Every structure is written in structure tokens, then in C-alpha cells.
Amino acid sequence: MSSLSPHERLKPAATTWFAVLRDRICAALEDLEQNAGPNPGRFVRTSWERPGGGGGEMSVLRGQVFEKAGVNISVVEGEFTPDFAARVPGTEAGARFWAAGISLVIHPRSPKVPAVHMNTRMLVTAKGWFGGGGDLTPLQPGTPQAAEDAVFFHAAYKAACDRHDPTYYEKFKAWCDEYFYLPHRGEPRGAGGIFYDYLDSGNAEADFAFTRDVGEAFLAAYPEIVRSRMHDSFTPEEREAQLIRRGRYVEFNLLYDRGTTFGLKTGGNTEAILMSMPPEVKWP
């Protein structure tokens, strides 16, 4: 009988899943580019290695539909620094960790198409857990189209949650609303979604199945939203408002985002970590 913990045994399957999900998401986004007209964008992949152990691959597309779309995967290992160990329940400085995951941020060219963020991950220390979620950022908040897109997006995540635990959606939606909030602005970053962390129900296989469904929910929802909005015309004024709205992404990711902090404090690839930054942004 194996002496490995349930999470240790899942490492190969999780590593494979994040890579497969990356491939499927990239293919779906490239298909949308193909339907936008001539000269569609394609993902360019760049591998990187982490000096302390592991590495990853950054995939970035710059095209007609997506001004910038980044889809990253990584598998890293090492030791927690004292300041970061203090933020992770049940860990100490010098404790070994292993982490794998996928993270994406998509900045569409059209203000009619919402921006989106999604990530899922698995982390193993003395114990193991899963985390992640997805959230939508309409670039024209308050419009009927933005409300319609948010309902569709949330429905996909609610269905994924309900397949595993009827309490998940309300709990993880509230966590998302709290997490993706800009205190200095007094406003949410966008239309929300779900967010969860430190998920260890006692059944690692079930938690992994839920995490896979979070990825599937993204694939079911976001490409459809893009397809329904990508051909809509927009004005210079709407583009200007979009660029200002993107500033909220920059502010949140640099001030509050845990993934950004984790990557920078554990020796991750800086370009991959800051992949989430929009290609063009303005502040009023």
C-alpha cells in the first residue's frame, strides 16, 4: 500500500489536467480569433524555469478579438519564506511546498466584451488543498448587456458548484465578492463569480473533481459570451471608458492579489506573474 497522502498521489493527475485545460482554452480562444476576420491572433508559448525548483509555460495571444489573452500553467516547489508562511494556515517558515495550477486573464479589444480572470490550483505542504475560481469584469458596467452576461456566467458556476455541494455557490460567490473588492475605491472589481481557497473536504478526489468542473464552467460560459458580443460596434468614448476601467485590474493585482504575492515571494517568473496586466490602460 502506498504511503503517499491522497494529495501527493494526485500530483501527476493535477499536473496533466492543468496542461490539458490550458490547451483546450487556448484552442477555444484561437477559434474565436479565426471567426473575427483575416490575420487572427495565435498563442505564443514561452517556457520558464524556477531556480528553486519547477517552472511553467506562459501562453500569450495578441489578436483582433483579444487585445491580450494570457494563459499560464506552472508546477513549482520549494520552501516557504517567513513572511509568506505566516499567511498560509498550518505552515511554517522553511516548510516545503509543491504547487501546480493554471491562471488566465483576458483583456478583449472591444469594450462590449467583458474581461475575465480564472485560475485553479493545487498546493501540497504537510497537507494539501485546492483553490481557484473565476470572475467577470464588464467594461460597460450597468448596461443590460453586462447584466445579461453576468447572469450567464454565474449560472455556469452555480451549476458546477451544485453538482458537488449545494452550499458551495453561495459561499464561494460571497467569498469572491469579498475578495475582489477594492477598499480604496469602495467598489467591486467587476460582476464577480466564485472564489475558494484551502479546500480540503477530507476527500481529495472529490475536491479535485470540483476543481476540474470550475475549469469546465469557464469553457462553457466565457467563449459563448465573447461570441455574442465580439462583432458589436463601439465608440471612441466607450473605448476610453474601457481603458479607465482596466485600471481597476492593475490596482487590484498589484495591491491585493494573493496569486501575484505568492508568485513574487516564491521566486516565480516575473513576466508570467505580471501577465495579467492589460496592454493599454488609463487613469482619469
* CA–CA–CA angle 276, 255, 69 (5° rounding): 5
User: How confident is the model over 117-165, as pLDDT tens digits?
Assistant: 999 999 999 899 999 999 999 999 999 999 999 999 999 999 999 999 9
The total number of residues written for the chain in this structure: 284
Residue 26 DSSP one-character state: H
Distance CA 166, CA 194 (A): 14
Residue 114 DSSP one-character state: P
Q: Is residue 63 within 8 Å of residue 35, measured between CB atoms?
A: no
Question: What is the residue whose three cell numbers read 498550518?
Answer: 90
Q: Tell me the average pLDDT across 99-118.
A: 97
Structure confidence at residue 101 (pLDDT): 97
The b-or-e profile of 244-260 (16+ CB within 10 A means b, else e) is ebbebbebbbeebbebb
pLDDT reading at 11 higher than 90:
yes
> For the whole model, what pTM was predicted?
0.93
Question: What SS3 class is residue 237?
Answer: helix
User: How confident is the model over 50-99, as pLDDT tens digits?
Assistant: 888 899 999 999 999 999 999 999 999 988 777 666 667 777 767 889 99
Domains annotated for the chain, with CATH where assigned, are 6-276 (3.40.1500.10)
Q: Is residue 264 within 8 Å of residue 81, measured between CB atoms?
A: no
Active-site positions read 117
The mean pLDDT of the chain is 93
User: How confident is the model over 198-223, as pLDDT tens digits?
Assistant: 999 999 999 999 999 999 999 999 99
User: How confident is the model over 159-182, as pLDDT tens digits?
Assistant: 999 999 999 999 999 999 999 999
pLDDT reading at 228 higher than 60:
yes
